[in-house]
Chain A
Amino acid sequence: MSAKRILIVDDDADIREATQLCLEITGQWEVLMAENGIEGLAIAQFEKPSAILLDMMLPGMDGMTVLKKLRENSETEKIPIVILTAKAQTNEKKVFDQLRVAAVITKPYDPMTISDQIASALSTSDLV
């Protein structure tokens, strides 16, 4: 656990690139990236990142399925997941809460605080 590693699963290349830079600079994260769910599951199981930043609207396998699969896999079930979504309506948030995720961050996120948000969420989840 010398280095904090975070996996970004998002289909938008620009978002991946910008978020990577943001997390590297503001949070000193080592950033892994996947552009769809299948890729994300594979990297997660192989790399075992400290956290996963998961987009919900993914082409092919959607974010919810990816989350389910991560939890079904004993190797990835403990990885804290932070949901990054553009669907930030109240009723959707309720659904996310039931998923026992570390945090839900709404797009477009604030690049200056996102690292702190993730860190705080992870520390809380560690306590739990």
Chain B
Amino acid sequence: MTQRSSNTVRNLEELLHRMTNRIRQSLELPEILEATVDEMRRFLKTDRVKIYQFHTDGSGEVVAEAIYRQHLPSLLAQRFPAEDIPEQARELFLKLGQRSIVNVSTQEIGLSPLLSADFKAALLKEKSTRLSFRKVDPCHVEYLTAMGVQSSLVVPILHRHRLWGLLVAHHSVPKRFGNRELEIVQLIADQVTVAISHANLLQLTRLQGQHEAIINQTVSYLHSTIEDPLQRALDHIISALRCSGGRLYTTASSDQKLDSPTPQNSAQIGSNQIVKDRWVLAGRQPVRAKIAAAKASVSSALVDRDIENLELETPESKTLKLETLASKTAELTHCQLEPQKTNTIAIEEIEHLSEWEMWLQNDLSNQIVANLWAISDTNAAHIPSPIAEAFARADIRSVLIAKLVHQNQFLGYLSLFRQSIDVETVWAGRLDASDPRQRRPRQSFEAWHEIRHNQALAWEPREIGLMQDLIDRFSSTIYQNQLYQKVQALNAALEQRVSQRTAELQETNRHLTQEIVERERALAALQEARDSLTRLSHQNELILKSAGEGIYGIDPKGNVVFSNPAAAKILGHPNSALVGKFVHDLLKHAKPEGDRYQWQQSPIFNTIKHGQTHHVTGDLFERQDGTQFPVEYVSTSIRENGQIIGAVVIFQDITERQAMESMKDEFIAVVSHELRTPLTSIRAALGLLAQKQIEIPAAKQQRMIEIASSNTNRLVRLVSDILDVERIKLGKVVLNKQTCNLSTIMAQAADEMRAMADNRSIHLLVSPLSVQLYVDPDKIIQTIANLLSNAIRFSPAHSSVKISAQKVCKGDVSALSQSLSKKGKAAIASGSEISDYILLIKVEDEGRGIPKDKLEAVFEQFEQLNNSHKGHQGGTGLGLAICRSIVRQHQGEIWAQSEMGIGSTFFFTLPIASDTTSS
């Protein structure tokens, strides 16, 4: 006994040691319990050891079990109704720590209360031993028998003053359990209690960890930059809290619920429009009645899942549903973008129902804390009908609603939904509900699976706690988001305004730049215009100044406003003396005949008055000294914008031109006369001769023939001289210059005239000078012959005509004979520039002379004729004109000196070639 006893003790110690070790080895309660039942069964050597755990409702479940060789059926994981271990029995277990040993065969139960400190006194009052046996309840016996149990040992497992469970040993055959076994099992139970404490602590820690993990994950979703963080956070919560769906409603009208909602500026008002009512949906959503028919009961967030489910259905209905789904998806997508506009059909805006707010405010029974309502079973709660129906249509059974408020600002609602669920319970044997003797133990403990449909899954306190924690996160995030959105909106508005103002400024700047550029351009153009104006006016001035014509301008009253120097010069006034004077007084404008115009009748007045341009030739203007001169003028009006503001008159003195013209007229008259004179004789003579019926004496006939003949010769000479003069004048005679000797030329000319001189008994005396000349010899011979011819013609008979020549030094004119006139000296001095010497040729006669005033005129055409007193001298009157032309063509000069009654001398000069010297 001692040995056995010590053996037992050793075994017991080993058992406890092992147990303690295994408990320590694991923190997982199931493992510990497994080990416990295993060790205890071995120790007690019973057919079954199990640990039965009580649920809060009093029912229980076998959570660990050890069975020896299937001597008894397994009851693991089976549930036992609360009635199986009645409340009074449970109370005894708890209050007294009662242990019981039942022997079915002896129908005896031994009870031993565990004396706890609290109940010691109470227990002492009762008459009790350590292990007292009494008759067991037949019902209990029946129950155990049905289980196939003959002996049982039950020790309660107490944890924190609560009956956690029972440690139970069953044996299929009667077996005695003594105090000793009881004590040991009690010890084991105590160990299990410790383990439970540990495991609970672990579980608590784990839950705490999970709780925190969920919060962390949610928070990280909320603050992440991923697309739609609220949706992700909502999805996460829903899965974490085992929900079927949920929704987050955030309001746009939050500002209106601020404590001090006074908008500070217009931008803040604008931000209200930015933050709109918004719904984030997940899972199945409540459906309201009036559109329930039009909508399937599945929300878009579950579309994918629904489609999977559809696989099981008939093709026809599937197609139908797909269409419905597609249209619904479109609807929902649409309404998520613009929920305000489509609020009557799209989203079930239950939060907008008036009943919603009212319901929550009044539902205090389900209000866990302020702003949080947990309705575990909608069927059991008082919910306003539209909302209740909406839940029912979506099969929503449990609702967890949080009102989101942050810093006194209402933000919205976060609602979580759970659908009804089917609960499966594995019962230890089936109770016949219809059996009136409900209290009778069941006949079989065969496992019976009970499935209960449409059960509400209640919100657990820890889930509610989690929700509480999450609400704050959501609220602050939404608040921040809205704040952020407002700030963003403000920023955007600000940026927009800034960019708008910047654009305006840039536009203004551009305009300014452009204006500056244009102004600069305009300035440059103006400067250019001024320059060109200056240049032009300078040019105009130059033109006016250099114009040979007189130009003056007058205003409408006829006062001179400008005049050019030529005008002043022609009119004999000092420069610019004309300006400001009345032009008609100044010019004394007169008609060609000399009659003065009335101002109002003058062509210039007409120009000012009627703008007509007048081109007048021959009118007379008056100089300052009172002399008149003929003018040609053009008067033109000056107009500005169609208005005549004055006139400009351009005029020139045509005295010389008129003289030239009258000379020309005279020349024509003279030529006509000179030609007609011989023709008159010829025509008369020949006309008479031609008449056969007229008898003319023979002598007269001869005279007529002679007259005709000599006048014909005269006419021929005349014509050829006229042609010569005209050709020389027009420069059409080209000199055929060659080197020749003057003596030869003089001799030839004298030879030509000798016959004429002999005819008139004139002595022709030639004093030749041998000088090399570069001249046209024929022309010089013609010149000398002409001079000789004139001299002979106008000399009386028996007088002498002399021709001589001499070289004269230009610088030594005074050394010449005193008879040389002033004009001759000047002619010599201004002679050829080729050489210092010049050749002077002279022809002298002893005729009656030429009057001093005619000395120059004789060189003009036909001049001799008027000088003739004694009929014509056989000259044409063109000879001297021809001579002057020829001499001047040779850069020489010709002039005449004469003394009346003594004679005339004709001089002409010729240049001497520099390399030629006299021989």
Contact = CB atoms under 8 A, between A and B. Distances in A.
Contact of A86 (B673, B688, B707, B867): B673
Contacts of A15: 677, 680-681, 684
Contacts of B676: 86, 88, 106-108
Interface string A78-96: 0000000011110000000
A102 to B, nearest CB: 19
A60 B868 CA distance: 8
Given A25-B688, A87-B672, A109 B696 contact: no
Nearest to B696: A25
Given A86-B673, A87-B672, A89-B669, A19 B872 contact: no
A29 to B, nearest CB: 14
A13 B865 CA distance: 14
A60 B870 CA distance: 10
Contact of A111 (B684, B865, B872): B684
A110 interface: yes
A121 interface: no
Contacts of B610: none
Most buried by A among B674, B683, B710: B683
Interface in A42-96: 57, 59-60, 86-89
Given A18-B707, A22-B688, A112-B687, A107 B696 contact: no
A11 B872 CA distance: 8
Nearest to A113: B687
Interface string B666-708: 0001001110111111111101100100101000100110010
A34 to B, nearest CB: 12
A21 B704 contact: yes
Given A11-B871, A12-B681, A89-B669, A21 B691 contact: no
B452 interface: no
Most buried by A among B669, B680, B694, B866: B680
A15 to B, nearest CB: 5
Contacts of A21: 684, 688, 696, 700, 703-704
Nearest to A23: B684
B661 to A, nearest CB: 14
A17 interface: yes
B341 interface: no
Contacts of B867: 59
A26 B694 contact: yes
Nearest to A92: B669
A19 B694 contact: no
B869 interface: yes
B800 interface: no
Contacts of A11: 868, 871-872
Contacts of B677: 12, 15, 86, 107
A14 interface: yes
Nearest to B669: A87
B865 to A, nearest CB: 7
A108 B872 contact: no
B711 interface: yes
Interface in A1-48: 11-15, 17-19, 21-22, 25-26, 35-36
B869 A14 contact: no
Contacts of A87: 669, 672-673
A35 B871 contact: yes
A118 B681 CA distance: 18
B866 A108 contact: no
Contacts of B672: 86-88
Contacts of B691: 112
B289 to A, nearest CB: 133
Contacts of A109: 680, 683-684
B683 A59 contact: no
Contacts of B682: 108
A14 B711 contact: yes
Contacts of B871: 11-13, 35
A43 to B, nearest CB: 17
B688 A111 contact: yes
A16 to B, nearest CB: 9
A18 B872 contact: no
A18 B679 contact: no
Nearest to A110: B687
Contacts of A59: 865-869
Contacts of A35: 871
Contacts of A86: 672-674, 676-677, 680
Nearest to A18: B684
Contacts of B673: 57, 86-87
A88 to B, nearest CB: 8
Nearest to B679: A108
A3 to B, nearest CB: 20
Nearest to A26: B694
Contacts of A108: 676, 679-684
B696 to A, nearest CB: 7
Nearest to B866: A59
Given A12-B872, A87-B672, A18 B694 contact: no
Contacts of B669: 87, 89
Most buried by B among A13, A107, A110, A112: A107
Most buried by B among A12, A15, A88, A109: A15
B593 to A, nearest CB: 15
Contacts of B680: 12, 15, 18, 86, 107-109
A17 B703 contact: yes
Nearest to B665: A89
Contacts of A26: 694
A112 B868 CA distance: 31
A79 B700 CA distance: 30
Most buried by A among B681, B704, B869: B681
Interface in B849-894: 865-869, 871-872
Nearest to B683: A108
Contacts of A36: 869
A99 B229 CA distance: 138
B863 to A, nearest CB: 12
A35 B871 CA distance: 8
A59 B684 CA distance: 22
A106 B677 CA distance: 11
Nearest to A87: B669
Contacts of B865: 59
B673 to A, nearest CB: 4
Interface string B625-649: 0000000000000000000000000
Contact of A22 (B687, B703, B866, B868): B687
Contacts of B869: 36, 59-60
A18 B866 CA distance: 23
Nearest to A25: B694
Interface string B352-363: 000000000000
A14 B688 contact: no
A86 B688 CA distance: 20
Contacts of B685: 14, 18
A88 B677 CA distance: 12
Nearest to A36: B869
A87 B681 CA distance: 16
A42 to B, nearest CB: 16
A111 B696 contact: no
Contacts of B872: 11-13
5 tightest A-B contacts by CB? A111-B687, A86-B676, A18-B684, A86-B673, A14-B681
Given A12-B681, A21-B684, A109-B683, 14 more contacts: A11-B872, A13-B871, A15-B677, A17-B707, A18-B685, A18-B707, A22-B688, A59-B865, A87-B673, A107-B677, A110-B683, A110-B687, A111-B683, A111-B687
8 contacts: A11-B871, A12-B681, A21-B704, A26-B694, A59-B869, A86-B672, A106-B676, A111-B687
Interface of A: 11-15, 17-19, 21-22, 25-26, 35-36, 57, 59-60, 86-89, 106-112
Interface of B: 669, 672-674, 676-685, 687-688, 691, 694, 696, 700, 703-704, 707, 710-711, 865-869, 871-872
